[in-house]
Amino acid sequence: MRQLRIDGERLWQSLMELARIGATAKGGVRRLTLTDVDREARQLFARWARDAGLALEVDGVGNMFARRGGTDPAAAPVAMGSHLDSQPSGGKFDGAYGVMAGLEVLRTLNDAGIKTRAPLEVVSWTNEEGSRFTPVMMGSGVFAGVFPLAHVLAQKDVDGIAVGEALKAIGYAGSAAPRRLGAYFEAHIEQGPVLEDTNTTIGVVQGALGQRWFDAVITGQDAHAGPTPMDLRKDALLAASRLVLEVNRIARAFPDYARGTVGFMQVKPNSRNVVPGEVRMSVEFRNQNDDTLSEMVAALRGSLKAIAAECRVAIALDEVTHFPPCQFDAAMVGSVRDAAAALGYTHRDIVSGAGHDAVYVARVAPAAMIFVPCEGGISHNEIESAAPQDLAAGCNVLLYAVLARAA
Ligand SMILES: [Zn+2]
């Protein structure tokens, strides 16, 4: 049993063949959810699943479940997966890796003639990326009961096409009954720089950061840049600048993987010789601990008054999104760590700064994730890249973690 390993070459070839569907000139993929290229990718996955002797089911939001039976049919399945859709200019590995790694685990068990007690499933979740239809993580969200199916089916893209219509058009409006998963593992590229920076092969993912997003509107007064003395200005951009510094200061001052970002800003009237009278900007904080996240928000609110007074402006801060932090199941995380250690891979605990299907699935089943490095930490980009040996290592960890759970 200790010698059992996945076939890294077969995994790589599958990823490369899949990446031809929706391939872009710069080496990435454009595979928006529920389009013809998404259908092609789904059909390829379905063909490979059939070839591996798996039974395929599709549910009402188009999630695909490819099942390998266990010796105890009453046992809840141990599932692996991720997503096959991509960003408009996405990479070959984001999502695709988790689905192909799951398939490779089942191919390996087939080759070795190993039966498990619990059934095993590979899941491809619909519309993780959220670029054609919102919300993001749609399929796993419906599965976990976060969004009602009818609500999601009515969501429209910019051309007015609804999710329900698009599902029917590509032939993936299924009817599989809701199922209970005994466990869910998701292998994914890190999409950040930590593993590469620390020369680590496997990230043992503890959970995902909670997120609080705000829209800020700062109102001052447009004024001529020449005749208006510094003391008499109501400069909205000066206040915005101080807010940016404050967000950065707070994120650096707090523990638990704190992040603080201002990524969007609109300046009015945006003219060289006018003191800016209005700024609209985004503010977001992330943290692994919901209480710490609240303290960060309180710290920001606490400094707003002083900034507003000193800059003689009004600042309105509206919360638009609050995702609570996700802590993965301790025993599941332990089986990932044990597998990495037993296989002799360098590994470290890590948190996900981004959302993933596993975050929603974790609300209804014990879940965990396995991260592998990606070059330069770059993702959501056509140049996204990962090393074959790292992808194989993550897949071996997936294999042993799944066996620990299902054997
Ligand atoms: Zn992804």
Instruction: Give distance in angstroms: CA of 44 to centre of ligand 1.
Output: 19
Q: What angle is formed at CA 366 by the lines to CA 361 and CA 367, rounded to 5 degrees?
A: 60
Q: Which residues, chain by chain, have CB under 5 Å from ion ligand 1?
A: 94-95
Closest among 280, 255, 253 to 268, alpha carbons compared: 280
Instruction: Give distance in angstroms: CA of 404 to centre of ligand 1.
Output: 25
- Give CA–CA dist 140/126, Å, rounded: 7
Q: What is the pLDDT of residue 65?
A: 98
Q: What is the pLDDT of residue 111?
A: 98
Q: What is the pLDDT of residue 2?
A: 54
For residue 95, what are the contacts with CB-CB under 8 A and spacing of at least 6? 82, 83, 84, 85, 86, 128, 129, 188
3-class secondary structure, 62: coil
Q: What is the pLDDT of residue 73?
A: 83
Instruction: Give distance in angstroms: CA of 247 to centre of ligand 1.
Output: 27
Q: What is the pLDDT of residue 171?
A: 98
Instruction: Give distance in angstroms: CA of 174 to centre of ligand 1.
Output: 23
- Give CA–CA dist 336/347, Å, rounded: 10
- Could you list the mean pLDDT of each consecutive 10-residue stretch along the chain, which spans 407 residues? 88 98 97 98 98 98 98 95 97 98 98 98 97 95 97 97 98 95 98 97 97 97 97 98 98 96 97 98 97 98 97 97 95 98 98 96 98 96 96 98 95
Instruction: Give distance in angstroms: CA of 83 to centre of ligand 1.
Output: 6
Peptide bond into 135 cis (omega under 30): yes
Instruction: Give distance in angstroms: CA of 117 to centre of ligand 1.
Output: 29
Q: Based on the number of CB atoms within 10 Å of its own CB, is 214 exposed (0-12), middle (13-18) or buried (19 or more)?
A: buried
Q: Which amino acid makes up residue 229?
A: P
Copy the structure tokens of residue 315. 């600042």
Instruction: Give distance in angstroms: CA of 354 to centre of ligand 1.
Output: 9
**DSSP code, position 177:** P
